[in-house]
Structure 1
Amino acid sequence: MPALPLQTSVLDDLAFQADDGSQQHMLHPESPRRAEAELAWAAVLGQRRLYASEEIPAPWELHQPVRAASLALEASGQQAAARDEYGRCVRAGYRVEGSGEPGSPRISVRIPDAWTAIGHDDRRESGELAEFCSQNLTLCALALDAHGWKCRVTDRGYASGSFIIATPRRA
């Protein structure tokens, strides 16, 4: 029996690209991105209903887990990290990327490079940065869990970088 081709989705054709935290800083913070993310998320929920239920990720999400997790985070109102034209982190937020585990994105919290620059040692020493990252990682895990993903938090401390490995919930 021949292999079936991967199903494409109306979501593949959307012009909206969820922010995975690797984007350059947006100059217009009052953009309609939140509304666009919510509209794209509504399309995901529609696809989920066709296949199983709103709680179980659809095939599109399984084949594009980084994009799907990014959309879930953005639609839930979480803030993505942003970079400047030189690649420096200029806005704290989540970063979604491949984890090396098929179908499971890795989510970390990035902080602006200026926060760790010389002269800001008090933030590192007081644990302020570690607490900030931990709180934001927890918010990301809660948002992903509410959007059909199971999260495993790996706590390696601030210096090594804690992260989440998200896996799609199964029926």
Structure 2
Amino acid sequence: MALSPTAAQRRVIDAADPSTGRLRGTEAQLAGLVKRGLAFRHPRPPHDHFLTPAGHRIRDADAEPDPPPGPVPAAARPDTGGGVFAARVGGEEDVPDGAGPARLREVRGAWQGLLELRRMTRPDGSTELPCTWERTHLVRAAALALEAAGHRPAGPAGDDGYRVRATPQPDAVAVHQPDAAALRECAATLERAGWQAGEHTEPRTRTRYLLASPRKV
């Protein structure tokens, strides 16, 4: 769990770039934020510092007006799950602020981080093909590619967006989306993200779905 910042560190957080979360401050201030889990140092030159999702939440909380007196409903409480990002696979029961600005920043930051991981782990520095992490976390990786591209994850009913699920095949996931046009858009997004995706028909229900796997070449 992230530690609370000092007053000086909070001023650095409040002054972060509103779109990228880029930070400016003394080395001691930035190092302190990293230690508290509120910032990270980019591994490539010029090694700038950026807010983590936990840091973004602190800044967003400071920008919100004071709540009215009385107990806060559970649905209105912020997600304080330790700042660990998880892509939406669709069908989640409890998704606070599912499409709010804080979530959009988290998704965008996670996708950029994944592209950087691709670049750093390939000899040619290419970002076109999925990396080892994606191949060992297929469901989360495919869901991140879809969510980062603006596709809507399904709610608990499962009929208003995409759902990414594991399959018996060790190198493939199934993507379900009740709208045929949206399903084709999901396929196009995954292909642009370095996956190969094809439409299939479920034998019993005749429902169309995608079978997607990371490209190797």
Give 2:116's match in structure 1, choosing from 34, 37, 46: 46
Give the counterpart letter for 1:49 in structure 2.
Answer: R
Q: Does the C-alpha gap of structure 1 residues 91 and 34 become closer, same or farther in structure 2, counting only changes over 3 Å?
A: farther
Deviation above 2 Å: which 4+ runs of structure 1? 25-31
Q: 1:100 Cα deviation (Å)?
A: 1.1
TM-score by length of 1: 0.70
Give 1:32's match in structure 2, choosing from 102, 117, 133: 102
In the alignment, does 2:145 pair up with 1:72? yes
CA distance in 1, matches of 2:159, 2:199: 22
Q: Tell me, what secondary structure is at the counterpart of 2:210?
A: strand
CA distance in 2, matches of 1:36, 1:21: 17
The unaligned stretches of length 5 or more in structure 1 are 1-12, 84-88, 111-132
* Superposition map of 1:90-129 within 5 A: 92-110=160-178
Q: 1:155 Cα deviation (Å)?
A: 3.6
The unaligned stretches of length 5 or more in structure 2 are 1-81
Q: 1:51 Cα deviation (Å)?
A: 2.2
Contact persistence 1:81–1:90 (CA under 8 A): yes
Q: Deviations over 1:134-159 (max 9, x none)?
A: 111101101111111110111459x4
Contact persistence 2:164–2:176 (CA under 8 A): yes
Q: Does the C-alpha gap of structure 1 residues 150 and 14 become closer, same or farther in structure 2, counting only changes over 3 Å?
A: farther
In the alignment, does 2:92 pair up with 1:23? yes
Aligned CA-pair RMSD: 2.3
- Larger fraction in helix: 1
Specify the alignment match of 1:160 in structure 2.
Answer: 206
Q: Deviations over 1:52-108 (max 9, x none)?
A: 22111000000000010000000010000011xxxxx07600000101111211100
Specify the alignment match of 2:194 in structure 1.
Answer: 148
Contact persistence 2:175–2:211 (CA under 8 A): yes
Q: Tell me, what secondary structure is at the counterpart of 2:213?
A: strand
CA distance in 2, matches of 1:49, 1:78: 24
Q: Tell me, what secondary structure is at the counterpart of 2:165?
A: strand
- Larger fraction in strand: 1
Specify the alignment match of 1:115 in structure 2.
Answer: none
CA distance in 2, matches of 1:27, 1:107: 23
Q: Tell me, what secondary structure is at the counterpart of 1:80?
A: coil
Q: Identity rate of aligned residues, in percent?
A: 31
The answer to which structure, 1 or 2, has the higher relative contact order (CA under 8 A, 6+ apart) is: 1
CA distance in 2, matches of 1:65, 1:39: 19
> Number of residues paired by the alignment?
132
CA distance in 1, matches of 2:128, 2:86: 22
TM-score by length of 2: 0.56
Give the counterpart letter for 2:199 in structure 1.
Answer: V
Give the counterpart letter for 2:166 in structure 1.
Answer: G
Specify the alignment match of 1:127 in structure 2.
Answer: none
Q: Does the C-alpha gap of structure 1 residues 90 and 155 become closer, same or farther in structure 2, counting only changes over 3 Å?
A: closer
CA distance in 2, matches of 1:169, 1:14: 30
CA distance in 2, matches of 1:21, 1:32: 19
